[in-house]
Chain A
Amino acid sequence: MKGFTLWFTGLSGSGKSTLAHRIEEILLERGMKVEVLDGDVVRQNLSKGLGFSKEDRDINIRRIGWVCHILTRNQVVAIAAAISPYKAVRDENRRLIGRFVEVYCKASIDALKKRDPKGLYEKALRGELKNFTGVDDPYEPPEHPEIVVETDKESIDESVNKIIRTLELMGYIPAGESSEDYSAEEEEKIKKRLKDLGYI
């Protein structure tokens, strides 16, 4: 299989990392080479020291895009999970990588504030966290993402299935199982054998 990049974009807490790792597991089970570039992790190594200004955010996303690019051309599936708030840089990455599938993790800010597992929205709203996307920093939703998952409405399994099905249909990943059941003729063969063997 050829490589491709699966790019998750969306607000903090919208499910990017969770979905990225679920998709990673499924693709690994199907024998594909996969790497996840998680925004939170990248900021501790590759982008250590960068802040949250627009300039720094753009550098961070370009770096992730560049790593995705070199992985993709080496037949690896690169999965990026980063807020990536600015459309221009995401599109720049899309042009660089070519085989690029954008997944928009869509969730209302109200739902995210309610969910807020790390308590970040609360802090940002109290003014204790500056440049927080969706609170006092902008987020530009993608205009034509290949996949939209509405994580405030769908279960994780539903979103995962939607992504996997789309990737299968687009031919980026092999089907998880053959779609054909036994033909009538094959079924007769199996039936005879199992009958001969005494199973049925």
Chain B
Amino acid sequence: MMEKILVIGLDCATPQLLFEQFAPDLPNLRALWQKGTKAKMLSTIPPITVPAWTSMMTSKDPGQLGFYGFRNRAGYDYENLYFANARYVKEKTVWNYLNRNRMPALCFGIPQTYPPKPINGIMVGCFLTPDKNADFTYPSELKAELDQAADGDYIIDIKDFRTDKKDRLLEQIYVMTERRFKAFRHFYKKDEWPFAMMVEMGIDRIHHGFWRYFDRGHRLFEPGNKYENAIRDYYIFVDRKIGELLNELDGKTSVMVVSDHGAKRMEGAICVNEWLAKMGWLKLKDHPQNQTKFKMEMVDWEHTRAWSEGGYYARVFCNVQGREPQGRIPPSDYEKFRDELKAALEAITDESGHNIGTLVFKPQDIYKQVKNIPPDLIVHFGNLDWRSAGSVGTGKIHIYENDTGPDDANHAQEAIFIWNVDPARLKQKKELISIYDIAPTILQFLGIDPPEDMIGKSLLK
């Protein structure tokens, strides 16, 4: 009998909520793991939507993929950054291998699938679609059907996420999810799909928008606030949507639920460029006195050895002679400098002087290959309890309001994995799996030998 698998991706769904705190209220998800298995899943370094989903679908690490986040350096000059969308994915995905074996695939909103490439099946592009005027589906004529199927305007992603109008934000997230599940169900029912996968972004959006209202440990938490249950209620809603989808299944379809990374409370942000300046490694032509967005043209390159980009994690770049246009670090000192910088980053403390446990990675140490241009260092401040703020002129290293707007959650290394497979088919019951194990597992489940160059291992016997 031909096996079929449905993969439901929940961007940012996090184990401590889904497996523990909210589990009693999530009957559909619970039933899946009670029949099969569940595990925490280690995400990529960095645990960010791009590259994490593509690493999951290719079983290749970010170095092998050649992109290290959303924005990547196209050259060693100071400006040239590009967005890693689907055009930059050169490695084979699960659906590429399935198509080769004459199995069609339904791919719905999987991050880094815009612009969509032709496939045997259906591809609905992800949130990297600029807007709905763009050709974000394959075949392209599907676009019209999508709105019909969604029973309203199909929402690719939340507009104007940075808002204080939380009611509106909440409503948008619900409508987006409702319509995505509806549209997906429509296309799922239209055909026989050995492999179908959808990714819902709503959980990520609600974590970032509402964490402070629900997390009693958050310094801004107010007991009894209006949104105290916003995240829990939304998880329950998603569980119900999953239940409706599962009702459509024929009973022969296996169901896997995955996320690309988890989420955790954000303590605050480390102003990385402000810190680099304080350490004497970054000099601005005219250091601003008020919080200002960091721009490359501010930098006095003659006197700068390192700079950084903000985000959920930091990417630190070195200004190396013969590499950057006005490089300062002699190539012979590069490793020494990188080690010095790494040690200094790891020593960063909170305001009371306690080390925050920052993790600093050299791309060459953690990836099998390092393609294109990686950051010189990848930094998880306080093991991602802290985000990275690029802004300068703050006059301090620690800030407690995100420099780009309100945000109270950061990404966490551990994602979720649920599969209602017969546990007897698994090699062993594992508490922790790797994001790289997903692609080979899906291929083996569908009867295809996982390619040897995939770095993960199939979970199946």
Contacts and interface: CB of A to CB of B under 8 A. Distances in A.
Interface stretch (B18-26, B80-88, B215-223, B238-246): B80-88
B4 interface: no
Given A28-B99, A31-B121, A187-B83, A193 B127 contact: yes
B134 A186 contact: yes
Given A177-B87, A187-B83, A30 B119 contact: yes
Contacts of A55: none
Contacts of A45: none
Nearest to B201: A197
B193 to A, nearest CB: 14
| Residue of A32, A181, A187, A197 with most partner-chain B CB within 10 A | A197
Contacts of A186: 130-131, 134
A198 B87 contact: no
Given A190-B130, A196-B160, A178 B115 contact: yes
B387 interface: yes
Interface in B304-349: 309-312
B171 to A, nearest CB: 17
Q: Chain B interface residue count: which class?
A: 35 or more
Nearest to B96: A29
B135 A178 contact: yes
A182 B85 contact: yes
A176 interface: yes
Interface residues of A, number: 28
Contacts of A177: 86-87, 115, 117
B49 interface: yes
Interface stretch (B172-180, B226-234, B402-410, B435-443): B402-410
A142 interface: no
A198 B402 contact: yes
A196 B100 contact: no
A189 interface: yes
B115 A28 contact: no
Nearest to B95: A29
B205 A190 contact: no
A196 B405 contact: yes
B134 A28 contact: no
A199 to B, nearest CB: 5
B272 interface: no
| Residue of A176, A182, A198 with most partner-chain B CB within 10 A | A198
A174 B118 contact: yes
A185 to B, nearest CB: 8
Interface in A1-59: 25, 28-32
| Residue of B100, B312, B407 with most partner-chain A CB within 10 A | B100
B128 interface: yes
A182 B130 contact: yes
A200 B71 CA distance: 8
Given A182-B130, A186-B130, A197 B208 contact: yes
B311 A29 contact: no
A180 B208 CA distance: 32
Nearest to B405: A196
B311 A198 contact: yes
Contacts of B134: 186
A30 B117 contact: yes
A25 B119 CA distance: 12
B161 interface: yes
A28 B102 contact: yes
Contacts of B69: 199-200
B124 to A, nearest CB: 14
A195 B405 CA distance: 9
A194 interface: yes
A30 B70 contact: no
B189 interface: no
A28 B120 contact: yes
B404 A195 contact: yes
Contact of A198 (B118, B160, B208): B208
A184 to B, nearest CB: 11
Contacts of B138: 31
Interface in B139-185: 157-162
Given A194-B70, A198-B404, A189 B83 contact: no
B261 to A, nearest CB: 12
Nearest to B127: A193
Contact of B100 (A25, A178, A187): A25
Contact of B118 (A30, A199, A200): A30
Contacts of A25: 100
B83 A196 contact: no
A175 B135 CA distance: 14
B48 interface: yes
Contacts of B162: 196
A189 B130 contact: yes
Contact of A31 (B118, B130, B158): B118
Contacts of B121: 31
Interface of B: 48-49, 69-71, 82-83, 85-87, 96, 99-100, 102, 115, 117-121, 127-128, 130-131, 134-135, 138, 157-162, 204-205, 208, 309-312, 387, 402, 404-405, 407
Interface of A: 25, 28-32, 174-178, 180-182, 185-187, 189-191, 193-200
Given A32-B120, A193-B127, A196-B404, 8 more contacts: A31-B119, A176-B118, A177-B117, A189-B130, A190-B83, A194-B70, A196-B162, A200-B71
Question: Which 6 A/B pairs are nearest by Cβ-Cβ distance?
Answer: A186-B130, A31-B120, A196-B161, A30-B118, A178-B115, A196-B162
15 contacts: A28-B99, A29-B99, A29-B120, A30-B99, A31-B118, A174-B118, A175-B118, A176-B118, A177-B86, A186-B130, A191-B83, A193-B161, A196-B160, A197-B158, A198-B404
